[in-house]
Amino acid sequence: MWIADTIESMRVHREVFRREGRSVAFVPTMGALHEGHLSLMRAAAELADVVVASIYVNPTQFGVGEDFDKYPRPLEHDLKLCEAQGVAGVFRPTDAMMYPADALPCEINVPALAGVLEGEFRPTHFAGVCRVVAKLFNIVQPDVACFGRKDYQQLKVIEAMTADLMLPVRIAACPTMREEDGLAMSSRNAYLSDEGRRHALGLSKALREAANLVNDGESDPAAVEAAMRATMAAHHVEVDYAVVRHPHTLARLDIIEPALTGGVIALVAGRVDGVRLIDNALLGGQGDT
Ligand code: AMP
Asked whether 186 lines ligand 1 (CB < 6 A), one says yes
Asked whether 156 lines ligand 1 (CB < 6 A), one says no
Q: What's the rounded Cα separation, in Å, for the pair 122 and 278?
A: 13
Three-class DSSP labels, 200-257:
CHHHHHHHHHHHHHHHCCCCCHHHHHHHHHHHHHHCCCEEEEEEEECCCCCCECCCCC
Q: Which of 168, 200, 196 is CA-nearest to residue 182?
A: 200
Q: Convert 137-166 to b/e letters by CB count within 10 Å (16 or more is b).
A: bebbbbbbbbbbbbbbbbbbbbbbbbeeee
CA atoms within 13 A on the CB side of 206: 35
Tell me the three state secondary structure of residue 277: strand
Residues with a catalytic annotation lie at: 37
Most ligand 1 atoms within 8 A of CB, residue of 56, 150, 159 to mutate: 150
- Residue closest via CA to ligand 1's atom 18 equals 36
- Cα-to-centroid distance, 68 and ligand 1 (Å): 16
Query: pLDDT at position 36, please?
Result: 98
160 Cβ neighbours under 8 A, 6+ residues apart: 110, 112, 113
Query: pLDDT at position 22, please?
Result: 98
Q: Which of 140, 128, 166 is CA-nearest to residue 55?
A: 140
H or E stretch covering 17: helix 7-20
Query: pLDDT at position 200, please?
Result: 98
The helix/strand count (H/E) of the chain reads as 12, 9
* pLDDT beneath 50: ranges in the chain: none
Q: Which of 180, 268, 256 is CA-nearest to residue 216?
A: 256
- Do 142 and 24 form a contact (C-beta atoms < 8 A)? yes
Q: Which atom of ligand 1 is least distant from the CA of 176?
A: 20
Asked whether 40 lines ligand 1 (CB < 6 A), one says yes
Asked whether 147 lines ligand 1 (CB < 6 A), one says yes
- Residue closest via CA to ligand 1's atom 10 equals 147
- Cα-to-centroid distance, 101 and ligand 1 (Å): 29
Query: pLDDT at position 242, please?
Result: 98
Query: pLDDT at position 176, please?
Result: 98
Q: What is the mean pLDDT of the chain?
A: 97
Query: pLDDT at position 64, please?
Result: 95
Residue 201 CA, chain-centre distance (Å), reads: 19
DSSP helix, strand, coil percent of the chain (3-state; round to 5): 45, 20, 35
- Cα-to-centroid distance, 201 and ligand 1 (Å): 18
Query: pLDDT at position 285, please?
Result: 79
User: One-letter amino acid identity for 113?
Assistant: L
- Cα-to-centroid distance, 219 and ligand 1 (Å): 31
- How far, in Å, are 118, 257, 284 from residue 281 at the CA level? 16, 15, 10
Ordered DSSP codes for 120-131: HHSTTHHHHHHH
Asked whether 29 lines ligand 1 (CB < 6 A), one says yes
Query: pLDDT at position 261, please?
Result: 86
- Do 120 and 85 form a contact (C-beta atoms < 8 A)? no
Most ligand 1 atoms within 8 A of CB, residue of 26, 29, 60, 92 to mutate: 29
